Structure formats: structure tokens, C-alpha cells
Amino acid sequence: MEHKGINLTLKVWRQQNTTSNGEFVTYQVKDISQEMSFLEMFDVLNEQLIQEDKEPIAFDHDCREGICGMCSMYIDGKPHGPWQANTTCQLHMRAFNDGDTITVEPWRAQAFPVLKDLVVDRTAFDRIIQAGGYVSVNTGNAVDGNSLPINKNDADASFAAAMCIGCGACVAACKNSSAMLFLSAKVSHLALLPQGDPERQSRVVNMVAQMDKEGFGACTNTGACEATCPKEISLSNIARLNQEYLLAGLTSN
Amino acid sequence: MTWKEVFTSSVGKKLVMSFTGIFLILFLIVHVGLNACIWANDNGTMFNAGAHFMGNNVVPRILEIGLFAGLILHIIQGLMLELSNRSKRGTVGYAVSYSKGSKWYSRSMGLLGTIILLFLCLHLYNFWLPNRANQGFLLGEEINLYAKMQEVFSNLLVVIIYVLGCLSLGYHLAHGFQSAFRTIGVHNKRYNAIFTTLGYGFAVIVPLVFALMPLSFYFGWIN
């Protein structure tokens, strides 16, 4: 495979802290290997900035394997960049051409305030999970998997929902800054399993209440979240959440 | 959880939009079916008989109150949701926006709804208001609605506004129809496929038939 170095112009959002006003700053990076990931390109840029005695750009990252949900970045108008079903850390520089200008912004949502540069506070998601996104009974040691028969289709649908890594791309992509795809993935993955059944009503009610409290918008089923989700969480999970909510509303005490 | 809590959360507000939306879709079927009688080519006899049945019968008139209640709820809730959702982005918006992930009309329900509302004001002013005023807003003598249609749709500007109103209605329905069923919890793939197809069909056919009414009068396609 041919090794090719490309030169890029980066327009990156810089913001000192939550309360300060941010602005775009333009940087040039040269001879970037196309085998690099997008984050590695940022590492190169940050080393360059350190050598120039400037403050490096703050950005979130952890596993760099596409599974932790830590990386964010709104790249050229799309969360996690141009590739489908992909996280920023798995976006490689072969997605770009020599001479490109790339605009990098943080997730924009009232519920995700910017902490610094490209880092936003996503603890709202943690609080939504705490409001009910788990099974609260003490289950003791793991029982034999085959002792509790589960329909294969339900198990698969539940697993597909559990793929959500909580990165917040759905909120970033949504015109309403709604967290419904995230919330519906969490509600669906437990609602489809017998373990999640006893608390299904209180779970959906409490989690929706917490989502509203955090200041996310309401869902209008545009599908922008599904189109950008790195784990391809289906929009049908939102319809399932709606059903769970409606049934809880009609039948709970 | 109280009933108030059920219908005032973000999901509950969407449920209100969905239920009222489906109710208004049902109304459109009645409205378009009855108005299609103008094409009977009998100088409005069948149409006026249908209009008389609806306008001078206590049951449709009670349903009319429900229709206005549903309509007003849909409009107010929709506008409030639009304003609330717009504020959730925070103080700084995106410099670059991506549009390939969703359809433009799905993102523009507030705008399309507002255009429909403006059209509706004209529409009620043209037909509903003079007719009900003639009835004293109770059960009484109606005006000749067929003749009224001929009169109103002789004005090209009015015809253009009606066609644009129908176009907005079509795009509003293209998203609204299937979205309403998702909101009430239809997540079964087979049913979703039915409602999506049905939604697109409804969104094309019903507004098209409505738009053909002013056009038929203006271009003299009806005797």
C-alpha cells in the first residue's frame, strides 16, 4: 500500500472553559500519514503546538478501539466524521484528501456544556442511567445461561440495543438535541429481557423524567440520530420506548 | 404517575401531537371524500346535499367542536415544542451543518405547520366563517357552498395560495403520518412498513385531490 502524506487546514473550536466565549482557530498540519487515525492526527497537532509553546487542544479519548464511547468531535458537520457506523478514533485520515479544510466542533447541546475546547460534559447520560437503567435486584452468582430460555430474536434485539456506547452522537446530530436514541437503547435492552421485566414501568418513567430534567429536547423522529450512530442503534428502539412509556402511563398506579 | 405527568413529559407531549395528528388525518379523509362530490358534475347538487348533512346535523356539529379542540391543541403544542426544541441546542450553534441524515421536511415540521396554519386562516375565512355566520353559529340556513367555491376559486391568487397550502400539507403528512404511529409505539417492522407506505400514499393522494379542487374550478374542469 502506498504511503502518502497529506497537508490539511484545521479549523478547531477553542474555548478556555464553560463560561468563556469560544472561537475557531485555524491550524496547518503537514505530511499527515493517511494510515493515522483522526485522533493521532490531533496528537501530532498537539505536539506541534507544545513545541511552539502554545496550549494543546483538549479532546476526549480513551480506548481508541471504537468501544468506549469517549471520543466525540463534530467533524465537518457530522458527529464522528464522514464515515458510517464509525467513531472518531476509528476514522482514518484516508477519509480526507490533500489540501482539505476540516472543521472540528464540540457536541453542541444545552445538556452537554463545553468544558474546554472539544471536551463536553456528558455526565447527564450517567444520571439518566442512574435513574433506572439497570436491574436493581441482587442476583448473586451468575446462573447457568441456559436455565432462563430467551427467544433468540429478543436476545439479538436486546444485544443490538446494548451496543450503545453512550457517546452522545445522537444528541449532537439531532436538531432538537434529544437524547431519545440513547435512552431508548438503554430502555430496550432491559425491556426485552426477563431480567428487566419487573422494573420496566418505573424504569422508563424515571429515565424519561431524568432526561427532561437534564434539558434535552423532545424527539421528532427525523432519523438523524440513527444515521450518525457509530453502533447503528435502530430508530425502532425509540418506538419501543414510546410503547413502554404509553403502557406505563396507562397501567401504572 | 399522574395523568398530568403522563402527558406533560417530553414523550407525553409527543403523544398528544400524535393522537391529535391521527385525529386530524381521519378528519381529512371525511373532508376530502365529501368535497370530491364537486366532480359529480351536477352543478353542486350532490356536494351541497353532503355539506347540508354535515352542517345541519347535530352529531357532526358536536364532532366539529372536538375537531377544533384537537386542531388548537395540535397547533399550540406543536409551536411550543418547536420553540422548546430549538432552545435545547444552547447558546452556540454549529458552524457546519449536516443534512444527509434526515429529510428536510422531517426537520421542517414547525415551518410546514405554520404555513398550513396561515392557509387554514384564509380557508376558514373563505368558507367556514360566512357559512356558520349565516347559520347564526347554530343549526340554520346554510349558504350555497358550491356557488361560494366557484366565487372564491375564480381568483388566481387564492388558487395559488390553496395549492401551496396543499403542498405544505403533503410534506407535513409525509413525515407526520408515519411519525405519529412511531410515537404511539409501533415498532414492529411489518407494521412500520405498512404505515410508512400508507403515509407516503396518503401524503401524495389526499393533498393532490384537495389541490385539484380550486384548480378544477379555476380552469373550468367542472360543469
Give the model's pLDDT for residue A253: 78
Q: Which residues of B touch A205 (CB under 8 A)?
A: 1, 5
Residue A235 in contact with partner chain B when CB distance is under 8 A: yes
| Average of per-residue pLDDT across B140-161 | 94
| Banded pLDDT at A2 (limits 50, 70, 90) | low
Q: Has residue A137 got a pLDDT over 80?
A: no
| Banded pLDDT at A114 (limits 50, 70, 90) | very high
Q: What is the DSSP string of A148-202?
A: S---HHHHHHHHHHHT-----HHHHH-TT-B-HHHHHHHHHHHHTSGGGGGGHHH
- Domain A5-116 and domain A123-251, same fold? Reply is no
Condensed to tens digits (0 to 9), the pLDDT of residues A27-52 reads 999 999 999 999 999 999 999 999 99
Mean per-residue pLDDT over chain A, rounded:
94
Contact between chains at A242 and B183 (C-beta distance less than 8 A): yes
User: What percentage of residues in chain A have a pLDDT greater than 90?
Assistant: 88
Rounded CA-CA distance A29/A32 in Å is 7
Residue with cell 451496543: A163
Give the model's pLDDT for residue B213: 96
| Average of per-residue pLDDT across A190-218 | 94
| Average of per-residue pLDDT across B51-80 | 94
**Do A118 and A61 meet the contact criterion of CB atoms below 8 Å apart?**
no
Give the model's pLDDT for residue A136: 82
Rounded CA-CA distance A245/A180 in Å is 12
Residue of chain B with shortest Cα separation from A225: B101
Mean per-residue pLDDT over chain B, rounded:
94
Q: Hey, what amino acid is at A211?
A: M
Q: Which residues of A touch B95 (CB under 8 A)?
A: 11, 24, 103, 105
Give the model's pLDDT for residue B99: 78
Give the model's pLDDT for residue B136: 84
Q: Which residues of A touch B182 (CB under 8 A)?
A: 221, 235, 238-239, 242
| Average of per-residue pLDDT across B110-131 | 96
Q: Is B148 helix (H, G, I), strand (E, B) or coil?
A: helix
Residue A56 in contact with partner chain B when CB distance is under 8 A: no
Give the model's pLDDT for residue B74: 97
Give the gap in angstroms from C-alpha B16 to the nearest C-alpha of chain A.
Answer: 11
Contact between chains at A215 and B88 (C-beta distance less than 8 A): yes
Rounded CA-CA distance A89/A79 in Å is 12
Question: What are the structural domain ranges in chain B?
Answer: 3-84+106-218
- Beta-carbon contacts of residue A82 (< 8 Å; ≥ 6 apart): A75, A76, A91, A95
Rounded CA-CA distance A139/A55 in Å is 49
Q: Has residue A1 got a pLDDT over 70?
A: no
Phi, psi for A55 (deg, rounded to 5): -75, 125
Q: Which residues of B touch A215 (CB under 8 A)?
A: 88
**Do A30 and A4 meet the contact criterion of CB atoms below 8 Å apart?**
no
**Do B124 and B131 meet the contact criterion of CB atoms below 8 Å apart?**
no
Burial of A136 (0-12, 13-18, 19+ CB in 10 A): exposed
Residue A101 β-bridge partners: A9
Residue A98 in contact with partner chain B when CB distance is under 8 A: no
Residue A33 in contact with partner chain B when CB distance is under 8 A: no
**Do B171 and B103 meet the contact criterion of CB atoms below 8 Å apart?**
no
A74-75 sheet: strands from edge to edge: A23-33, A5-14, A101-105, A74-75, A78-79
Q: Has residue B196 got a pLDDT over 80?
A: yes
- Beta-carbon contacts of residue A185 (< 8 Å; ≥ 6 apart): A161, A162, A163, A164, A233, A237
Contact between chains at A223 and B106 (C-beta distance less than 8 A): yes
Q: Has residue A139 got a pLDDT over 80?
A: no
Q: B100 or A218: which carries more pLDDT confidence?
A: A218
Pairing of β A114-116 and β A78-79: unpaired
Give the gap in angstroms from C-alpha A31 to the nearest C-alpha of chain B.
Answer: 26
Q: Is A27 helix (H, G, I), strand (E, B) or coil?
A: strand
**Do A111 and B87 meet the contact criterion of CB atoms below 8 Å apart?**
no
Residue A159 in contact with partner chain B when CB distance is under 8 A: no
Q: Is B76 helix (H, G, I), strand (E, B) or coil?
A: helix
Of A60-69, A131-140, B31-40, B72-81, the one with minimum mean pLDDT is: A131-140
Residue A248 in contact with partner chain B when CB distance is under 8 A: yes
Residue of chain B with shortest Cα separation from A15: B92
Give the model's pLDDT for residue B48: 94
Question: What are the structural domain ranges in chain A?
Answer: 5-116, 123-251
- Beta-carbon contacts of residue B56 (< 8 Å; ≥ 6 apart): B135, B139, B140, B142
Q: Has residue B179 got a pLDDT over 90?
A: yes
Residue of chain B with shortest Cα separation from A201: B1
Give the gap in angstroms from C-alpha B100 to the nearest C-alpha of chain A.
Answer: 8
| Average of per-residue pLDDT across B50-63 | 91
Of A31-35, A86-90, A140-144, B195-199, the one with minimum mean pLDDT is: A140-144
Fold of A5-116: Ubiquitin-like (UB roll) (3.10.20)
Contact between chains at B179 and A221 (C-beta distance less than 8 A): yes
| Average of per-residue pLDDT across B191-204 | 95
Residue A220 in contact with partner chain B when CB distance is under 8 A: yes
Contact between chains at A110 and B106 (C-beta distance less than 8 A): no
The three three-digit cell numbers of residue A88, written as one number: 472518531
Q: Has residue A225 got a pLDDT over 90?
A: yes
Q: Which residues of A touch B88 (CB under 8 A)?
A: 109-111, 176-178, 215-217
Q: What angle do CA B180, B74, B119 make, to 5 degrees?
A: 105
The three three-digit cell numbers of residue A211, written as one number: 432526561
Give the model's pLDDT for residue A56: 97
Contact between chains at A221 and B183 (C-beta distance less than 8 A): yes
Rounded CA-CA distance B223/B221 in Å is 7
Q: Has residue A141 got a pLDDT over 90?
A: no
Residues in chain B: 223
CA A101 to the chain's CA centroid: 24
Give the gap in angstroms from C-alpha A1 to the nearest C-alpha of chain B.
Answer: 32
CATH code matching the domain that covers A123-251, chosen among 3.20.20.70, 1.10.760.10, 3.30.1360.30, 1.10.1060.10: 1.10.1060.10
Size of interface A-B (CB pairs under 8 A): 151
Contact between chains at B88 and A239 (C-beta distance less than 8 A): no
| Banded pLDDT at A14 (limits 50, 70, 90) | very high
| Banded pLDDT at B88 (limits 50, 70, 90) | very high
Condensed to tens digits (0 to 9), the pLDDT of residues A59-87 reads 999 999 999 999 999 999 999 999 999 99
By Cβ distance, the residue of A103, A218, A228 closest to B10 is A218
The CATH architecture one would assign to domain B3-84+106-218 is Up-down Bundle (1.20)
